Amino acid sequence: MEQQKSIIESLASAISHLEKSMKALVDKDENRVMTSVWKSAADLEYANFLFSITRDKPKSSSWKLDLRSKQVEIGPLLVSAQDLIKEAKKDLDADGLLEAYKKTWVARGYLLKVSDIFQKAQKKSEANRET
């Protein structure tokens, strides 16, 4: 199936971008972290689109995570997202399309949370400079 091949390629690309973001995090290069996170999120968005057109769309609202009230750190979120993407690739190989879709969706949510954390930190930094 051509779509499945494209999904696998997107997941592999997302993993590669996450590895770059983790290296950038260690180097404390926030711009590189965010660039890599956005590229990975874009790959996951494309994979999720492909998942959605290969089958009836499940209720993805039950897959959303509530990370608002929890104290979360960027490193563990990146690692969790990468682990989920690797699991999703394995699920695809075992014809577990729905489970792979779910894991890809949740990983995307983690990356959006990372982006949110960076945006809030940037706004706080800008506010501190203005005072």
Alpha-carbon distance of 110 to 65, in angstroms, equals 8
Residue 39, in any domain of the structure = yes
Q: In CATH, what number is assigned to the domain containing residue 121?
A: 1.20.120
Residues of the chain with pLDDT > 70, as a percent, come to 85
Residue 29, in any domain of the structure = yes
> pLDDT for 68-111, tens place per residue?
545 578 999 999 999 999 999 999 988 888 899 999 999 999 99
Alpha-carbon Rg for the chain in angstroms = 16
In b/e form, how buried is each residue of 50-60, taking b as 16+ CB within 10 angstroms? Answer: bbeeeeeeeee
Residue 111, in any domain of the structure = yes
Least confident among 20-29, 56-65, 99-108? 56-65
Residue 83, in any domain of the structure = yes
- Domain containing 48: what range? 2-60+71-130
Residues of the chain with pLDDT > 90, as a percent, come to 63
Domain count, the chain: 1
In b/e form, how buried is each residue of 61-76, taking b as 16+ CB within 10 angstroms? Answer: eeeeeeeeeeebebee
Alpha-carbon distance of 90 to 72, in angstroms, equals 27
Q: For residue 47, which of 105, 86, 94 has the smallest C-alpha distance?
A: 105
